[in-house]
């Protein structure tokens, strides 16, 4: 299937992935490309339009990221957002300078021209701004189409080129009409048909898997999480009995998790599922270890050993399936020219541009750390000579859930909260022992049961219990106790890059706390984590 495509050239924006998500939510396929992607590469794609993202640099600084100026001759519409607007305007003849009054946060936009980008919208609207630079002199080749109190050229259109620029972020929820602005660009200006559908994606992916795999066996590491479960379901749809799933029981799973995975995939979907009980080896190597990174290294190494022990028993196994998602591809810097025009690369840092400036967000252009070793089966493809199958590498997490629903996976798997690759090991602060694991399993079960009973599970993005390495004094049964503390954490987020703590009703928190203290021996105190991300992370380790 040939999809229509919106290419997003990334200039280091903290909202780059969000732009891609918003475009896809409007049923148009999008891809994030490096800022310097050559125009001739873009021309080879089914391109309907280009979006230039924001970024934390200033366009007039030496070393600031640039795009190939030939993209403005491709005869496709281009939308520049913040830095993208400034860069496009500069290339096409306008002047960019530091603003006398910088804009951060909500601003009132006055729309002057509603013929295209702002069609069907009101004359005044709230937008979210984050910039210290702006267009100083626009020139005769541009038309001003919107302004704010402190930004005279808040939106512009070039008179002869198909370029539009906005000095605010339509992709964020703080711009209430941002979706409509993007929709106008995609449908009215670019002429998109909106044919990005999950049913088409599944059919195309199944056909591609069959072509890639042939008659060979495919191994899938199954954890029971959303990503690996959807990969398994897709592969089973594509190659049936050629799929063999391996579940490694590391002794760090949630209560009854192993049994639930076996019931779903072996009994319901009739998938060949092999269970490797490696729990003794994991716990033996983790004994006495308290450093979180050391825990992760040990778990990653043992996972590979456990996986290899079973994989070697499978004849004609040439392929290894992984639940790599599109954010993984972007952040790992593993995008190849075969799958994307160019990888996202960095430029010299600056703190005088926009987007992240003065917001407390770190200004960086370097690619993020690679995917964790234990999370995506690490070096196994090279060690065992496997070829990779990554059917979800073009999708975001919410799109993966849609695929899972389409394939008929149970709701409790499709909508399961994220669970870390190292399991409960990184939710036990300090030493891991069988006794402490049992305490945390019981607390975790109570937390999840009660938020489900209260109808909160789908509203909350991730909920977890953490066992702390401290004991506190209490009174239980008229006697002094000195027992463990359980911390509860629940957050709401759309992208897991930022998150707010969930405002769980006090009566629900009270019930959870009461059950944990009364039902779990060795716990006498429960606390609730009300930190946001940033500065805190979602997991504690």
236 in catalytic set: no
Which is nearest to 61 in space by CA: 353, 298, 271?
Answer: 353
Which is nearest to 227 in space by CA: 360, 409, 90, 62?
Answer: 409
Q: How many residues in total does the chain contain?
A: 541
Q: What is the C-alpha separation between 452 and 378, in angstroms, rounded?
A: 34
Give me the catalytic one of 33, 67, 82, 343.
Answer: 82
Query: Going along 181-295, which residue ranges are E strands?
Result: 217-221, 243-249, 272-277
Give me the catalytic one of 67, 89, 103, 169.
Answer: 169
Strand-strand pairing, 479-492 and 500-501: antiparallel
What is the CA 271 to chain-centroid distance, rounded? 28
- What is the rounded (10 degree) CA torsion for 438, 439, 445, 448? -140
Which is nearest to 39 in space by CA: 342, 285, 490?
Answer: 342
Give me the catalytic one of 4, 103, 171, 310.
Answer: 171
67 in catalytic set: no
Is residue 79 a contact partner of residue 165, using CB atoms and an 8 Å limit? yes
b/e code 299-320 from CB counts within 10 Å (16+ = b): bbebbbebbeebbeeeeebbbb
Which is nearest to 4 in space by CA: 32, 35, 22, 27?
Answer: 27
Mention every residue, 6+ apart, whose C-beta is less than 8 A from residue 520. Answer: 439, 442, 443, 446, 486
* Block residue for tokens 């909260």: 417
Q: What is the C-alpha separation between 50 and 489, in angstroms, rounded?
A: 40
* Coil, strand or helix at 299: helix
82 in catalytic set: yes
Residues identified as active-site: 82, 169, 171
């Amino acid at each position: 299937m040939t999809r229509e495509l919106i290419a997003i050239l990334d200039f280091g924006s903290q909202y780059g992935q969000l732009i891609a998500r918003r475009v896809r939510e409007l049923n148009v396929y999008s891809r994030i490309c490096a800022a310097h992607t050559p125009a001739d590469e873009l021309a080879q794609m089914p391109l309907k339009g280009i979006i230039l993202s924001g970024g934390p640099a200033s366009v007039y600084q030496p070393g600031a990221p640039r795009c190939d100026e030939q993209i403005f001759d491709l005869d496709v519409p281009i939308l520049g957002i913040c830095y993208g607007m400034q860069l496009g305007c500069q290339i096409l003849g306008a002047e960019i300078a530091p603003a006398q009054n910088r804009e951060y946060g909500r601003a009132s936009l006055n729309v002057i021209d509603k013929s295209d980008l702002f069609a069907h919208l009101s004359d005044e609207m709230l937008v979210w701004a984050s910039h210290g630079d702006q267009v100083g002199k626009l020139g005769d080749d541009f038309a001003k189409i919107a302004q704010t109190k402190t930004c005279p050229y808040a939106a512009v259109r070039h008179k002869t080129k198909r370029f539009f620029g906005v000095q605010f972020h339509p992709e964020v929820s703080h711009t209430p009409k941002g979706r409509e602005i993007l929709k106008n660009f995609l449908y009215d200006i670019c002429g998109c048909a909106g044919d990005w559908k999950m049913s088409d994606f599944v059919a195309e992916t199944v056909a591609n898997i069959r072509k890639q795999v042939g008659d060979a066996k495919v191994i899938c590491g199954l954890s029971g999480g959303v990503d690996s479960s959807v990969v398994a379901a897709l592969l089973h749809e594509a190659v049936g009995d050629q799929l063999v799933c391996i579940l490694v029981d590391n002794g760090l799973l949630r209560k009854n998790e192993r049994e639930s995975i076996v019931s779903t995939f072996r009994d319901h979907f009739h998938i060949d599922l092999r269970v490797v009980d490696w729990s003794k080896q994991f716990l033996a190597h983790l004994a006495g270890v308290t450093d979180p990174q050391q825990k992760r290294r040990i778990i990653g190494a043992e996972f590979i050993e456990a996986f290899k022990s079973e994989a070697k028993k499978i004849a004609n196994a040439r392929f290894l399936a992984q639940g790599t998602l599109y954010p993984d591809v972007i952040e790992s810097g593993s995008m190849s020219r075969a799958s994307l025009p160019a990888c996202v690369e960095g430029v010299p840092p600056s703190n005088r541009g926009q987007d992240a400036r003065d917001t407390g967000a770190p200004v960086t252009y370097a690619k993020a750390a690679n995917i964790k070793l234990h999370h995506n089966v690490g070096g196994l493809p090279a060690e065992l000579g496997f070829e990779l199958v990554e059917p979800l590498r073009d999708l975001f997490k919410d799109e993966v859930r849609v695929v899972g629903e389409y394939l008929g996976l149970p709701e409790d798997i499709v909508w399961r909260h994220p669970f870390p690759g190292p399991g409960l090991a990184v939710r036990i602060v300090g030493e891991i022992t069988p006794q402490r694991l049992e305490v945390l399993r019981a607390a975790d079960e109570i937390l999840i049961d009660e938020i489900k009973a209260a109808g909160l599970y789908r509203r909350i993005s991730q909920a977890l219990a953490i066992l702390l390495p401290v004991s506190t004094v209490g009174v239980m049964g008229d006697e002094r106790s000195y027992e463990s503390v359980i911390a509860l954490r629940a957050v709401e987020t759309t992208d897991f890059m930022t998150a707010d703590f969930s405002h769980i009703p006090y009566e629900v928190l009270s019930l959870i706390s009461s059950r944990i203290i009364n039902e779990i021996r060795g716990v006498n105190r429960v606390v609730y984590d009300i930190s946001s991300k940033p500065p805190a992370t979602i997991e504690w380790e």
